[in-house]
Amino acid sequence: MNKTKTSKIIKWARQKSPWLLHFNTGGCNGCDIEILSLLTPRYDVERFGILKESSPRHADILICTGPVTQQVKPRLQRIYDQIPEPKWVLAVGSCSCSGGIFSGAHNILGGIDKVLPVDMYIAGCPCRPEAIIDGIVKLLEQIR
């Protein structure tokens, strides 16, 4: 196989089976519960090929919840750097989009976009699983 066919197959696989890495930067866990509910039989995102990955080295999409704190900033940057290119970032919840109710606190930097380039924002406190699925689908359409 030549290089163009291989790259087409890789791009097709990336669009049809995105692997997600979830990282909580210090929020209340409301959005985390909603992200985990995506894996339950009610929503079952695995039927769409979406897999939750536990290693940044195998992930395609980084899903962040919570506001960025001073303490978590270097960890978040290190995890982002470990994800292979091409990579995308989803900010899930009001806290990760703008800092939410925690903005203005002495140790809060703000939303995820203060540290990483964000490709998709999903607002809500907490976000509904349907909104998260819709955001992932729109991100995949954007990748095409």
pLDDT tens track, the chain, 144 positions:
567 888 777 777 767 778 899 999 888 888 888 888 888 889 888 888 888 888 999 898 999 998 999 999 999 999 999 999 889 999 999 989 988 888 888 888 888 999 999 999 998 888 899 999 999 889 888 877
The three-class DSSP label of residue 42 is coil
Query: Residues near 84 by Cβ (< 8 Å), separated by ≥ 6?
Result: 57
Considering only the top CATH level, what class is 18-143? alpha beta
Identify which of 89, 81, 144, 83 has the alpha carbon closest to the alpha carbon of residue 122.
89
What residue type is 144 in one-letter code? R
Place of tokens 């979406």: 50
Residue showing tokens 């087409």: 8
Identify the three-state secondary structure at position 115. Answer: coil
